[in-house]
Structure 1
Amino acid sequence: MNIATHTQNGIVILEINGRLDAEHAEILKNEFRKLIPANSKFILDLSGMDYLDSTGLGAIVFCLKSCGEHGGVLKLANLTDKPRIIFEITRAYKIFDIYDNLDAALAAM
């Protein structure tokens, strides 16, 4: 898994590419821990994420919880078909703001 981070209009965008699974979940959590003290608006761009397991979903939930604890906002964009199944099975889609594309997520901020 690879995470590319950039800022657009004061919003931190984390582009997740590859597998977000038990082997890689801690990478996302550590990256988020570094960013959360100085930022409050985040979008996870999931267009390059081709696999998600329950541990990976747990890492995304960690990001959401961290945002809430720091008064921040987290939105998801570009959730692809295979990872979307995990969100549907677990009903996690109910706790996240999920947008079809990055532009829609940016506009919602």
Structure 2
Amino acid sequence: MTLTQEIQVILFKPQGSIDLEGGTALSEQMAAIAPQPHQLWVIDLAGVDFMDSSGLVPLVTGLKEARQSGCRLVLCNVQARVRLILELTQLDSVFEIFDTYEDILSTVKNNSLVLAG
């Protein structure tokens, strides 16, 4: 008998800038949902054209809380200016970054995305 665990995807789609104001809004959205094991948190950055250092705080905090809860947090659709910030801070090696949301779903569907736990 094979048991499968359904993965619940939680999608966050911040818009505009993730600076002090935008970062606070993202933090509030993420705090409203308690991370659970077998959840996949996706932060789709397609609508984000700017991020500063204060915008990194909710991403790092969210990643830490997700990992502590046995859930996974990934980024997708990272625009060039935002990717540069992640690279300069070397956070691009800390976060799992996918090109598109569809890439994440196909990875999950192919069972090659294994949830931490």
Larger Rg: 2
Unaligned runs of 5+ in 1: 1-8
Deviation at 1:69, TM superposition (A): 1.4
Change over 3 Å in CA distance of 1:80–1:74 after alignment to 2:
same
The answer to whether the aligner puts 1:24 opposite 2:22 as a matched pair is yes
Deviation at 1:10, TM superposition (A): 2.3
Residue number in structure 2 paired with 1:6 = none
Deviation at 1:37, TM superposition (A): 4.5
CA contact (8 A) 2:75 2:98 kept: yes
Matches of 2:17 and 2:95, distance apart in 1: 20
Change over 3 Å in CA distance of 1:10–1:91 after alignment to 2:
same
More strand by share: 1
The alignment of Structure 1 onto Structure 2 pairs a total of residues equal to 101
RMSD of Structure 2 on Structure 1 (CA): 1.5
**TM-score, normalization: structure 2?**
0.79
Identity %: 28
**TM-score, normalization: structure 1?**
0.85
Matches of 1:83 and 1:51, distance apart in 2: 6
